[in-house]
Structure 1
Amino acid sequence: MMKLDESLLKKYAQVMVHYALNNGNGISKGDTVFLIGQECTKDLFTAIAREIYGAGGNVISNYQPDNTRDNSLPRFLLQNGSDEQISFFARPYWQGIVDATDHILFIISEPDIHYLEGIPSAKISMMNSARAPYMKMREMKEQAGKLSWSLCLYGTQSMADEAGLTLEEYWEQIIEACYLREDDPVTKWKAVQKEIEDIKDKLDALEIEKLHIKGEDVDLEVQIGQHRKWLSGGGKNIPSFEIFTSPDWRGTNGYINFNQPLYYSGKRIAGVSLQFENGIVVASSASENEDALKEMISQENADKVGEFSLTDRRHSRITKFMATTLFDENTGGEFGNTHIALGNAYKDTFAGDMSTVSDEQWAEMGYNSCPKVHTDIISTTNRTVTATLRDNTQTVIYEEGQFVLD
């Protein structure tokens, strides 16, 4: 186990508490943070908790045993529990957590990335589906502007092995991507976010009707839809360099292939190819764990697009495959990255007051509703994105891994 330098740990904690939470603004005195992490994250977990207390905040701790094949409680439950136990959901507890919390901070880490190996995908889906009401509770409070969340990454030997890196190389990607060697990484993040916001504002001003994504492995049209705006991470993920929106799922047509693996329910799915007709996946394949891909897509509304995203290579310092969506969806490298998410649409891409919109109105606007699934699938190949604007003119907005906007 690699031990992170104390000064880097403190800077990491400062980024999460004073920038990431509260949508890039940091927490306020008296705020309560629901902090989630496994045992292997102890040094960062503790540093973040101390930073929260130092800022006058409160911590609700969800500190979990490491998930390994020999010691994982979820694995034990999936192997030995009844369907009733696997799908158990303690509604009053989770409602209480959401009610008591101003911010949620999740430290992503896998001490054993294959801890669910050999477990049937259907059982894993059953357990994941049981958490759908919790996600809905969170979404409602977030739409009311009373909840923020963020994610960060803690590297382990298992994750480094999966990515084909040494643990030191893996952590080097984290340190560089999160600007932890800057004298003041919080100020650096705010400056980078401003640059990304400038691009986002230019995209909004274009009033895009639809996008055409073209490359050697893709020919796809994506309908943006009415009343949309583009978003950047704004602290929700650290790191985050992507600019994304929630398209009108009904206007997705064509095919798209992905050269990066994804991880779903503890399984590595590689070589993904999807074909869309009128917004619905009509054909799907994968060269590795195709059954897990099809299990995911079979979930209600998981056969529709919830997000379309582009990353400008000039912002991201991530140059390696990291075997975790948080980093892989923000890859820079030679051509940046293009990705879509199957499943739930983020409603904060609505260009108005979310709290005034009914479920029926969300559906009318083509926002996909799928609380069980939001799975990003990523490609780092060269793609050109052409926008058709509402006045029917066309303009290239992205090529060679970067935005090209006046």
Structure 2
Amino acid sequence: MSYEPSKEILEKYADVMINFALNGGEGVKPGEVVQLRVSEVAKPFLVALRRAVVKAGAHPLIFFTPDDIEREFFELANEEQLSFFPEKYMKGLVDQIDHTVAILSETNKKELEGIPSKKIMARQKALKPYMEWRREKESAGEYTWTLAMWGTQQMADEVGMTLEEYWEQIIEACYLKEDKPAEKWKSLYEELYSYKDKLDALEIEKVQVEAEDTDLWVQLGAKRKWLGGSGRNIPSFELFVSPDWRGTEGHIQFTEPLYRYGAIIEGAYLEFKDGVVVKATATKGEDLLKEMIAVENADKVGEFSLTDRRFSKITKFMGETLYDENVGGEFGNTHIAVGAAYRDSYTGDPSSVSEEEWAEMGYNNSVVHTDIVATSNRKVTAFLKDGSSLVIYENGQFTI
């Protein structure tokens, strides 16, 4: 039997996305242009999102895409077609929009299984200018984005849930049973920020992550601040930082499967030396993992993140990074992203920094940003600039 959330739930969901998640928690302003990227299966959510945009006095710009058409492109496309980039169109789009709301909704999670990973990565590389233009606009404070999920039967089947059970995780995680979920998010982030402020005040030089098959050192670097609660992802309970990639050493065993580019990677394991991945293995999808790592600068860390189990309402594996990188459960989670760094982790004005200066500070730059998650019980120790150390995270929660 099919399931679809009620109109009331969808109205609340759209309210959170439009009137909280954008503009750094402030919501859209009259006259702004909001790009809505939604696929066919999630049409009911598109209707609710557009309604919320119009009610806010803003302008919806709709990208409504059919389901299950991606595989044929990769089967038929030649090298020129894979690398084609509609420069004028994409530049005009970035110039026009003030915000983007993108909705994840998959009807075939393994649509690209068997497609050569080189083809998939070639298409990813072609989009690099678009990603850079968006990042520049975001750094200038002129653009925000957010990401959310529409549960489908196929997504629920993949992780062994009914569609109603799958949606229950979404509804709980996004506080959609609250009378005013957007207000709930604002109050939650105030509490989350208290831990972010404590982390910033510690003046951490580097952290050590210890768990089964894991001993990883991450150097934060100068002029860094922790991030979280910006509304970029709904839901999001993590606190994260973009470290100096050059100071990553050791190894980490990931526990959660990763769905990426229409395929799955399981049992991923990475070893770092002098900031670079020197060994990458997986029990499944190892070729894709290695192909992904082989992309320029995708063998370096762009993000280090911790999720406190006390904040997250996500208790089950959802098969989507948006949720799995925010899972609470028994031990919360640690994840790192290989690839691009978040430049708003910089304590100063990102728009005033040149590419050479970003490189000098160890902010990684790549077309790839892939989060890989570990939920094993771990201890995280911070080593401070004054020479002291303390445990900042243990048994799934912050200890500061």
**TM-score strictly above 0.5:** yes
SS at match of 2:175: coil
Q: Is this contact kept in 2: 1:24–1:236, CA < 8 A?
A: no
Judge conservation of contact 2:109–2:259 (CA < 8 Å) in 1: no
Rounded Cα–Cα distance in structure 2 between residues aligned with 1:375 and 1:261: 12
2:105, 2:213 → 1: CA distance? 31
**Using the alignment, how far apart are the partners of 1:398 and 1:167 within structure 2?**
34
Counterparts of 2:77 and 2:396, CA distance in 1: 47
CA distance in 1, matches of 2:374, 2:193: 23
After the TM superposition, which segments of 4 or more aligned residues of structure 1 sit over 2 Å from their partners? Answer: none
1:398 aligns with 2:393: yes
Q: 1:171 aligns with which of 147, 167, 170?
A: 167
Q: Which amino acid aligns with 1:213?
A: V
**Are residue 120 (structure 1) and residue 90 (structure 2) matched?**
no
Residue 22 of structure 1 corresponds to 23
Corresponding position: 1:383 with 2:378: yes
Task: Measure, in 1, the Cα distance between the counterparts of 2:42 and 2:83.
Answer: 27
Shift of 1:2: 2.1
Give me the whole-angstrom Cα distance separating, in 2, the residues matched to 1:385 and 1:3: 41
Separation in 2, partners of 1:375, 1:255: 17
Deviation digits for residues 112-150 of structure 1 (CA, Å, limit 9, x no counterpart): 111112211111111111111110010000010000000
Whether the aligned pair in 2 keeps the contact of 1:246 and 1:307 (CA below 8 Å) is yes
Deviation at 1:185, TM superposition (A): 0.2
The CA distance in 2 between the partners of 1:309 and 1:136, in whole Å, is 23
| RMSD between superposed Cα atoms in Å | 0.7
* Match of residue 246 from structure 1: 242
Calculate the TM-score normalised by the size of structure 2. 0.99
Deviates more, 1:39-48 or 1:122-131: 122-131
AA matched with 1:79: E
Match of 2:296 among 293, 300, 319: 300
Partner deviation per Cα, 1:202-243 (whole Å, 9 max, x = no partner): 100000000010112210110000000000031000000000
> Which residue does the alignment assign to 1:326?
322
Structure 2: distance between partners of 1:133 and 1:109:
25
What stretches of structure 2 of length at least 5 have no aligned partner? none
Q: CA deviation at 1:402?
A: 0.5
Q: Which structure 1 segments of 5+ residues have no match?
A: none
The aligned runs of 1:43-122 (5 Å cut-off) are 43-67=44-68, 72=69, 74-122=70-118
Aligned with 1:157 (options 146, 153, 159): 153
1:228 paired with 2:229, answer no
Work out the CA distance in 1 between the residues paired with 2:10 and 2:350. Answer: 36
C-alpha distance in structure 2 between counterparts of 1:256 and 1:3, whole Å = 39
Give the count of matched residue pairs: 399
CA displacement 1:231-277 (0-9 Å, x = unmatched)? 00310000000000000000011110001011221110000011110
**Identity fraction in percent:** 55
CA contact (8 A) 2:111 2:263 kept: no
CA distance in 2 between counterparts of 1:218 and 1:367 reads: 24
Give the Cα–Cα distance (whole angstroms) in 2 for the partners of residues 365 and 6 of structure 1.
Answer: 48
Q: In 2, distance between residues paired with 1:49 and 1:94?
A: 22
Q: Give 1:316's aligned residue.
A: 312
Once the two structures are superposed, residues 170-219 of structure 1 have per-residue CA deviations (whole angstroms, 9 ceiling, x without a partner) of 10000000000001101100000111111101100000000010112210
Deviation at 1:162, TM superposition (A): 1.4
